[in-house]
Chains A and B, each alone.
Chain A
Amino acid sequence: MNPALKNSLLFGFVGLLIIGTGMVQGWNSALLIVNMGLISAIMALGVNLQWGFAGLFNIGIMGFVALGGLATVVVAMPPVGEAWSAGGLRVILGLMMGAGTVIAAVFAQKRLKGRRRTLVTIAILIVGFFIFRAVFDGGVNAIEAVNPASTGYLGGLNFGAQMRAPSDLPQPDLFILLSWPVGGLFAAGAAWIIGKTALGLRSDYLAIATLGIAEIIIAVMKNEDWLARGVKNVIGLPRPVPYEVTLQQDPSFVERAAGLGLDPVTASTLYTKLGYAVLFTIVLLILLWLAQKALNSPWGRMMRAIRDNEVAAEAMGKDVTARHLQIFILGSAICGIAGAMMTTLDGQLTPGTYQPLRFTFLIWVMVIVGGSGNNFGAVLGGFLVWWLWVEVEPIGLGLMNLLSSGLEDGSALKLGMIESAAHMRLLTMGVVLLLVLRFSPRGLIPER
């Protein structure tokens, strides 16, 4: 079977899976899987760029995804004027002092020598830390005191949201689309700092370093309430697509829905989800096209050369560290974009829900299963593994019901079996990953 046919069949198979879900569980569930599948595919593209192209072992994806989510709040929420006047400037001043301290310490490290270097650096860090806390804490307390039940944070930069006349029905706000590239920028900025410090490390040190940084990013987002309300969550983010309630009130929409034989409620939910799907598909196609271009360009060949033999590439005059930094930033930025898209789809930022198993290791399963080094493989893996992640529970439940159908109702074994279906997900993911690594280590669509 030639590769093109095989790949088409694989994509067709995933399509059938999703269509089957639509027939069995309803089209809303199917579209939900499609939307999250699109986002997962984008994340997998980012990881594939780092791992498949360059062999960088980054398991801090969760952190970049969360930073993308933060961008939606910073961009698309209306600013809280009261909080800004209460402590906005003081917080910014504090942050600048913190950054200044770090820069001064780095400067001291570079310029001074011997014991003086250590002493001066430590002195700068300690003094700087206390000045930073003195300025910063006051501002934070002032901001968090502003109406803590509903705001208590600085809000975002969506000045337009306040000026628009309030209407009874929520209207879509395309401004939030701006947060997608901004999310990419946030993630890229973080990746630059991380890459500067950690990229020289060996592969498994880099892995642990990125794992740790992701945890820190989540910790910051959970605790710095002035930034995005922490675990109090930001809800009611604007949406780029029409709201269901608005559509249901629209006579022409109701009429068209009736023409298709749908009731207005179902039609409006489908319409909204389709809107997201179209937006996400556009982003995925653009990124996929760019990634394919990159893969087949001299730059992509150079990356693979570096991956396969760093020493030889260095001998050919390639700056390995700089190239690694470059691709680390690019891959992380893609994850940031996907993170912003996901938060947009959810309509809320909930820092408490970011977990490494779901947002880091699952993406890795997607890349490995799909085929590392192949962009189409990453996309396929994103859809397939996401479908599995969602559907394992219902399938497991059905299986357990079938297996235990011979047992009498209410027996402990039967209850245990049915209850255990809820824990099938992680087990299945692990088994799939191990099977692919063992029997098809290059993935479903191998690198060419």
Chain B
Amino acid sequence: MDFLNALVALANFVIVPGLAYGAQLAIGALGVTLIYGILRFSNFAHGDTMAFGTAMTIKFTGLLLALGITFGPLPTALLALPFGIAATCLLVLFIDWLVYQFYRDQKASPVILVIVSMGVMFVMNGVVRFAIGVQDIRFADGERFIITARDFKTMTGLDEGLAIKTTQAITVVVAVVVVALLFWFLNKTRTGKSMRAFSDNEDLALLSGINPDKVVKVTWILVAALATTAGVLYGLDKSFKAFTYFQLLLPIFASAIVGGLGSPLGAIAGGFVIAFSEVTITYAWKKVLVYLMPSNLEPDALVQLLSTDYKFAVSFAILIVVLLFKPTGLFKGQSV
């Protein structure tokens, strides 16, 4: 019984939140990794792309609600998501045409493109603030829980409850669907194959008649879709605040690099590695240990390895270890 209680406590506080957060990071990291693989630079504006997509989705959610359309027990934001993605697609394609294309034609070095993306980051940050302001916004509606801690306790008779938020379940389901679609697209369709060819060897791809403009456009559309989805899932699960999204850049980059920049599979693995390390290292283990240890050895302190404010430090420490010992990441990414 004690063991089961410990297991449920672990699931409630570590596994479920870790899975949801990991899925959000993974989708975000997929966007970073795609840009890196195909456009060959680290996009610092990715966090703000996520913020823009989420802001647009929130706007459309408001519109749908005003029209009296809801999604039953599910958050209305899911219905608004396609519109948010469309708006983000338009914006990133416009930015690519206005800004990035010039440097691509010039064959500018990646570091210049990174600095350019810093400029885009500033602009997008400003645009998001214009569009929706800087305040904290909660936009999840519908049922809050699939199963509450109390129901779980009465159902199983255990002392510990397991609560699963609707948003957490949605995050995982959506992530699975998105990843499956993306991999199907990259591996089975002609455009997807040409993207992978372009990423592997640009010259050879051009030689075999692949249209680079199309590859770039499709990449941006995919990135906009991924960024918006990741942003909306994160915002549903927690809340939307422009500044938080900017700060997500660090764990997302860490996920992409830990997995291996340029490798989609790696981005997913990296997302979960980072999320679970953050959660386990900043979790107060007392609750679990109480059930497992003999009563005379029970810990009095929280048994928290690091305070939660250091979660950035965790993702970052993993990043450094990976960079030093395995610079190409867990799954062999590109290292240009």
Q: A residues bordering B, Cβ < 8 Å? A: 55, 57, 129, 197-198, 201-205, 207-209, 211-213, 215-216, 219, 222-223, 355-357, 361, 364-365, 368, 420, 423-431, 433-434, 437-438, 441
* Inter-chain contact B310/A203, CB cutoff 8 Å: no
Given A219-B313, A223-B309, are A209 and B125 neighbors across the interface (CB < 8 Å)?
Answer: no
Candidate in A205, A364, A420 with the most chain B CB atoms within 10 angstroms: A205
CB contact list, B82-125 vs A, under 8 A? 99, 102, 110-112, 114-116, 118-125
B54 to chain A, nearest CB (A): 17
* Inter-chain contact A212/B312, CB cutoff 8 Å: yes
Candidate in B111, B116, B243, B254 with the most chain A CB atoms within 10 angstroms: B111
* Inter-chain contact A216/B110, CB cutoff 8 Å: no
Q: Please report the C-alpha to C-alpha distance between residue A355 and residue B134 in the assembled complex, in whole angstroms.
A: 15
B49 to chain A, nearest CB (A): 14
**In the assembled complex, which residues on chain B have CB atoms less than 8 Å from the CB atom of A355?**
243
Give 5 nearest A-B pairs by CB, closest first.
A430-B122, A427-B126, A430-B123, A212-B316, A433-B119
* Inter-chain contact B313/A216, CB cutoff 8 Å: yes
B146 to chain A, nearest CB (A): 34
* Inter-chain contact A205/B99, CB cutoff 8 Å: no
* Inter-chain contact B121/A361, CB cutoff 8 Å: yes
Q: Is B42 an interface residue (CB 8 A)?
A: yes
Q: Is B323 an interface residue (CB 8 A)?
A: yes
Q: Which listed residue (B102, B254, B316) contacts A216, Cβ 8 A?
A: B316
**In the assembled complex, which residues on chain B have CB atoms less than 8 Å from the CB atom of A205?**
257, 323, 327
Q: Is B179 an interface residue (CB 8 A)?
A: no
* Inter-chain contact A426/B129, CB cutoff 8 Å: yes
| A interface: dominant SS | helix
**In the assembled complex, which residues on chain A have CB atoms less than 8 Å from the CB atom of B253?**
208, 211
Contact with A along B211-254 (1 / 0, CB 8 A): 00000000000000000000000000000000100110110011
* Inter-chain contact B122/A203, CB cutoff 8 Å: no
A40 to chain B, nearest CB (A): 16
* Inter-chain contact A364/B310, CB cutoff 8 Å: no
* Inter-chain contact A427/B323, CB cutoff 8 Å: no
Q: Is B41 an interface residue (CB 8 A)?
A: yes
CB-CB nearest in chain A for B313? A216
Q: Please report the C-alpha to C-alpha distance between residue A204 and residue B333 in the assembled complex, in whole angstroms.
A: 15
**In the assembled complex, which residues on chain B have CB atoms less than 8 Å from the CB atom of A55?**
111
CB-CB nearest in chain A for B250? A212
**In the assembled complex, which residues on chain A have CB atoms less than 8 Å from the CB atom of B257?**
205, 208
Candidate in B124, B125, B327 with the most chain A CB atoms within 10 angstroms: B125
| A/B interface sample: 14 pairs, CB < 8 A | A129-B305, A198-B323, A205-B257, A215-B247, A215-B312, A215-B313, A219-B310, A219-B312, A223-B307, A357-B122, A423-B130, A425-B126, A429-B122, A431-B119
A143 to chain B, nearest CB (A): 16
Q: Please report the C-alpha to C-alpha distance between residue A426 and residue B51 in the assembled complex, in whole angstroms.
A: 15
Q: Please report the C-alpha to C-alpha distance between residue A261 and residue B173 in the assembled complex, in whole angstroms.
A: 74
* Inter-chain contact A204/B309, CB cutoff 8 Å: no
**In the assembled complex, which residues on chain A have CB atoms less than 8 Å from the CB atom of B327?**
201, 205
* Inter-chain contact A204/B110, CB cutoff 8 Å: yes
A136 to chain B, nearest CB (A): 12
Q: Please report the C-alpha to C-alpha distance between residue A391 and residue B249 in the assembled complex, in whole angstroms.
A: 29
Q: Please report the C-alpha to C-alpha distance between residue A444 and residue B126 in the assembled complex, in whole angstroms.
A: 24
A139 to chain B, nearest CB (A): 15
**In the assembled complex, which residues on chain B have CB atoms less than 8 Å from the CB atom of A356?**
246
CB-CB nearest in chain A for B114? A204
**In the assembled complex, which residues on chain B have CB atoms less than 8 Å from the CB atom of A431?**
119, 122-123
Q: Is B336 an interface residue (CB 8 A)?
A: yes
Q: Is B7 an interface residue (CB 8 A)?
A: no
* Inter-chain contact B126/A430, CB cutoff 8 Å: yes
B242 to chain A, nearest CB (A): 10
Q: Please report the C-alpha to C-alpha distance between residue A223 and residue B323 in the assembled complex, in whole angstroms.
A: 27
Contact with A along B270-294 (1 / 0, CB 8 A): 0000000000000000000000000
A59 to chain B, nearest CB (A): 8
Candidate in B111, B122, B335 with the most chain A CB atoms within 10 angstroms: B122
Q: Please report the C-alpha to C-alpha distance between residue A441 and residue B108 in the assembled complex, in whole angstroms.
A: 11
**In the assembled complex, which residues on chain A have CB atoms less than 8 Å from the CB atom of B129?**
423, 426-427
Assuming A208-B319, A426-B122, A427-B123, what are 6 further A-B pairs, CB within 8 angstroms?
A198-B320, A198-B323, A212-B254, A212-B319, A437-B115, A438-B99
**In the assembled complex, which residues on chain B have CB atoms less than 8 Å from the CB atom of A433?**
115, 118-119, 122
Q: Please report the C-alpha to C-alpha distance between residue A136 and residue B335 in the assembled complex, in whole angstroms.
A: 40
**In the assembled complex, which residues on chain A have CB atoms less than 8 Å from the CB atom of B176?**
none
Q: Please report the C-alpha to C-alpha distance between residue A207 and residue B121 in the assembled complex, in whole angstroms.
A: 15
* Inter-chain contact A203/B125, CB cutoff 8 Å: no
**In the assembled complex, which residues on chain A have CB atoms less than 8 Å from the CB atom of B119?**
430-431, 433-434, 437
Q: Please report the C-alpha to C-alpha distance between residue A197 and residue B316 in the assembled complex, in whole angstroms.
A: 13
* Inter-chain contact A438/B102, CB cutoff 8 Å: yes
Q: Is B324 an interface residue (CB 8 A)?
A: yes
Q: Please report the C-alpha to C-alpha distance between residue A427 and residue B125 in the assembled complex, in whole angstroms.
A: 7
Q: Please report the C-alpha to C-alpha distance between residue A312 and residue B315 in the assembled complex, in whole angstroms.
A: 36
Q: Please report the C-alpha to C-alpha distance between residue A420 and residue B126 in the assembled complex, in whole angstroms.
A: 10
CB-CB nearest in chain B for A212? B316
Q: Please report the C-alpha to C-alpha distance between residue A434 and residue B119 in the assembled complex, in whole angstroms.
A: 6
* Inter-chain contact B120/A430, CB cutoff 8 Å: yes
CB-CB nearest in chain B for A427? B126
Q: Please report the C-alpha to C-alpha distance between residue A213 and residue B115 in the assembled complex, in whole angstroms.
A: 19
* Inter-chain contact B122/A204, CB cutoff 8 Å: no
Q: Is B127 an interface residue (CB 8 A)?
A: yes
**In the assembled complex, which residues on chain A have CB atoms less than 8 Å from the CB atom of B130?**
420, 423, 427
* Inter-chain contact A203/B111, CB cutoff 8 Å: yes
A175 to chain B, nearest CB (A): 32
**In the assembled complex, which residues on chain A have CB atoms less than 8 Å from the CB atom of B110?**
203-204
**In the assembled complex, which residues on chain A have CB atoms less than 8 Å from the CB atom of B125?**
357, 426-427, 430
CB-CB nearest in chain A for B113? A204
CB-CB nearest in chain B for A207? B114
Q: Please report the C-alpha to C-alpha distance between residue A357 and residue B319 in the assembled complex, in whole angstroms.
A: 22
CB-CB nearest in chain B for A416? B130
Q: Which listed residue (B99, B126, B243) contacts A424, Cβ 8 A?
A: B126
**In the assembled complex, which residues on chain B have CB atoms less than 8 Å from the CB atom of A216?**
310, 312-313, 316
* Inter-chain contact A434/B99, CB cutoff 8 Å: yes
Q: Please report the C-alpha to C-alpha distance between residue A431 and residue B126 in the assembled complex, in whole angstroms.
A: 10
**In the assembled complex, which residues on chain A have CB atoms less than 8 Å from the CB atom of B124?**
430
Q: Please report the C-alpha to C-alpha distance between residue A216 and residue B320 in the assembled complex, in whole angstroms.
A: 13
* Inter-chain contact B111/A430, CB cutoff 8 Å: no
Q: Please report the C-alpha to C-alpha distance between residue A57 and residue B42 in the assembled complex, in whole angstroms.
A: 13
* Inter-chain contact B114/A57, CB cutoff 8 Å: yes
Q: Which listed residue (A215, A420, A425, A426) contacts B316, Cβ 8 A?
A: A215
* Inter-chain contact A204/B123, CB cutoff 8 Å: no
CB-CB nearest in chain A for B118? A361
Q: Please report the C-alpha to C-alpha distance between residue A361 and residue B47 in the assembled complex, in whole angstroms.
A: 15
Q: Please report the C-alpha to C-alpha distance between residue A204 and residue B335 in the assembled complex, in whole angstroms.
A: 11
* Inter-chain contact B127/A427, CB cutoff 8 Å: yes
Given A223-B307, A357-B122, A437-B119, are A207 and B254 neighbors across the interface (CB < 8 Å)?
Answer: no
Q: Please report the C-alpha to C-alpha distance between residue A73 and residue B17 in the assembled complex, in whole angstroms.
A: 39
